[in-house]
Structure 1
């Protein structure tokens, strides 16, 4: 670490609204250019920050010198910056006890080019960890890294294996699907019910685990935020591509329930997706299936949705490969499994010295 950093009185503070706008100006060339102008980028980030999920859970942090904070006449120099979001989570302890907790997701860690290679990003993470552990009394935080494995591992974060299955899309899946009468759409009228029932099932699943583990709980506001972010960053997509279908549920043949009245049995097989028009992909952000056959039907629905918008690929993070027997059950699809090299998941455990914690359901819904 440089002598410059060693002798500065650094402090991590929550950004004011004007400082938050400055963090967006700082990161524009990395995350907004060339798709957006700088004004468009700042405007969209402000819109996202005021959506329910972000307005209740987002904090923007800046690393600066204490001397700037003590002086009202000088705008602070931002040496590094990041954002954090509160998330609901479940923790299963070694004793089998289950606790519902608040955790924190760290994202958008950024150091302006002129301040890089001085240890400022590491200092942000160090100060955040202290804040989460001692001030907020959080048991853990997590993040997805775009900069490879070395940085966060060196800082004591635990990495997790991160696979994905990719399906190439063929327009032939616009044709009617077999057993389509078993499928109902997930839309605005039933999404919240689906998410709430899913959380109940996740809690029941978590009770069966016999080791220390965590799971991030899906919530309706978090899904809404992801959907809105995709829409805002797809400004060149016309209104007819503003899809109101968020996924699909497989119903039992003899069940006559309405879209708004699901029981636990009905929600053992469903899929929730998000359209990525920028990179021409359909992301499966939450997936629940109890058999390869049901998996096949759900992937067929995703194929049909992707074909409708001429998206060329479907991606699902960390699938249970027992449900994706590509050589048999899914042989009509061009599906392959890859080890991901981007958005690598990391966990920091604060509760005790034993960090042997498993992270369950590392799916796209927990990404921000």
Structure 2
């Protein structure tokens, strides 16, 4: 077996990848981790579709590669891509008592991957250090975030501090008790059917709903900074329809081209009742419907919450999914569902302010939900 070259860290650099051949090579490398059951052409097709969405077009998605300083992008030695990472440009808001609300840019980080034969040499750590430096020099960028699958420590020492990482798993067969069922006798806890009718969220009303949600986020932030200490900072990834559409493009490709389901038309993206709503994502490979965004208006109560969760359960059953998963739920919803909060050791949300001296513990990630993951 040919020995793999090793490079001193001072002889390595991080560069943007523009060439389709180089970008495709990063897909070839990471397919072993994120698409091992797919043939190369299917995997490439999925990545091309995802890269062509409004969410990722116009340089919102950038691919970075760690390479030797001698690497020539015009005549690249593709086997010398030591590690790679993707970044996405996202709209965000920072809020504090002193500064009020400020619209900013944020950078989400994804697809960190080092080929197996290059591991154990500190390349991934070096790449993330260099990437943090690049992000810090980007005009208008105020924070960055990612989701760690290697625990809280690795990225925590490189600028991205782990934040709340909880979830609940709602089986599709789980019955949500109402006040009548909770008082039932003889062990009858089957509950009663919720008769509230919810409105479907589809392509026709998604943008309007998310625009209203973005205003609701601002209202929440204004209320939070009024009672917060001056040293407290709140960060939020602004809700926008493009990230939801990206997630659904991913689900549709999986349904149609990978699983080859006869019924692959995913047309319902959530449910709403009054100002309250739930948005979801069909995670078909992991047998789950993911709640990506949840909002319950303060004046709407348990009946609305039940109706929205039951709508998600119904959608999951339609696709033969066994569970509904939700990140970082409110305690009131957990109590209503009578389920246990679990701490997860993967997809750990991690966030860091750029060019800031504020202590990480004084930064709160608002609406730390799945919609930011895309």
Taking the aligned partners of 1:221 and 1:45, their CA distance within structure 2 comes to: 16
Q: Check the 8 A contact 1:281/1:311 in 2, yes or no.
A: yes
Cα RMSD between the aligned structures? Answer: 2.2
Aligned residues: 341
Aligned to 2:346, what secondary structure does the other structure show?
A: coil
Corresponding residue number in structure 1 for 2:212: 197
Q: SS at the partner of 1:100?
A: strand
CA contact (8 A) 2:15 2:65 kept: yes
Indicate if the aligned counterparts of 2:292 and 2:371 stay in contact, CA closer than 8 A.
yes
CA contact (8 A) 2:7 2:68 kept: no
1:74 and 1:17, CA in 2 relative to 1: closer, same or farther beyond 3 A?
Answer: closer
* Native 8 Å contact 2:252 2:266 kept in 1: no
- Residue 236 of structure 1 corresponds to 259
Per the alignment, residue 254 of structure 1 pairs with none
Q: What is the alpha-carbon distance in structure 2 between the residues aligned to residue 137 and residue 195 of structure 1?
A: 23
Deviations 1:214-269 (A, max 9, x none): 0001111111000011121232142424221111111xxxxxxxxxxxxxxx32x1
> Does structure 1 residue 158 correspond to structure 2 residue 161?
yes
Query: Of the candidates 287, 298, 309, which is equivalent to residue 280 of structure 1?
Result: 287
* Residue pairs, 1:198-213, within 5 angstroms: 198-210=213-225, 211-213=232-234
Q: Does 1:55 align with 2:65?
A: no
Distance in 1 between the 2:329 and 2:119 partners?
37
Residue aligning to 1:180: 196
Give SS of 1:273's match.
Answer: strand
Distance 1:40 1:212 in 2: 43
Relative distance call for 1:109 and 1:15 in structure 2 (3 A) is: farther
Q: Of 323, 329, 337, which aligns to 1:319? A: 329
Asked if structure 2 preserves the Cα contact closer than 8 Å seen for 1:295 and 1:324, the reply is no
Residues 19-70 of structure 1 show CA distances to partners (whole Å, capped at 9, x for unaligned) of 1001001111111111x1111101211111111111131011111122123x
Residue matched to 1:347? 351
Q: 1:17 to 1:136 in 2, by over 3 A?
A: farther
Q: Distance in 2 between matches of 1:192 and 1:180?
A: 24
Gaps of 5+ in 2: 177-190, 226-231
- Aligned partners of 2:121, 2:243: CA distance in 1, in Å? 35
Which residue matches 1:367?
Answer: 373
1:287 alignment partner, SS class? strand
Q: Structure 1 CA distance, aligned partners of 2:124 and 2:86?
A: 12
The Cα shift of 1:179 comes to 2.7
Matches within 5 A, 1:18-167: 18-34=21-37, 36-56=38-58, 57-69=60-72, 72-75=74-77, 77-167=80-170
Go from structure 1 to structure 2 and tell me whether the alpha carbon gap of 1:108 and 1:74 turns closer, same or farther (over 3 Å shift). Answer: closer
* Structure 1: unaligned runs, 5 residues or longer: 251-265
Change (3 A) 1:240 1:353: same
| d(CA) in 1 for partners of 2:98, 2:330 | 26
Give, in angstroms, the shift of residue 357 of structure 1. Answer: 1.1
Query: How far apart in 2 are the matches of 1:84 and 1:130?
Result: 13
Question: How much does 1:208 deviate?
Answer: 1.2
Q: Partner residue of 2:315?
A: 305
Choose 158-167 or 290-299, whichever is displaced more. Answer: 290-299
3-state SS in 1 of match to 2:46: helix
1:363 and 1:68 map into 2 onto residues whose CA distance is 39
Does the 8 Å contact 1:12/1:124 carry over to 2? no
In structure 1, C-alpha distance between the alignment counterparts of 2:209 and 2:150, rounded to whole Å: 34
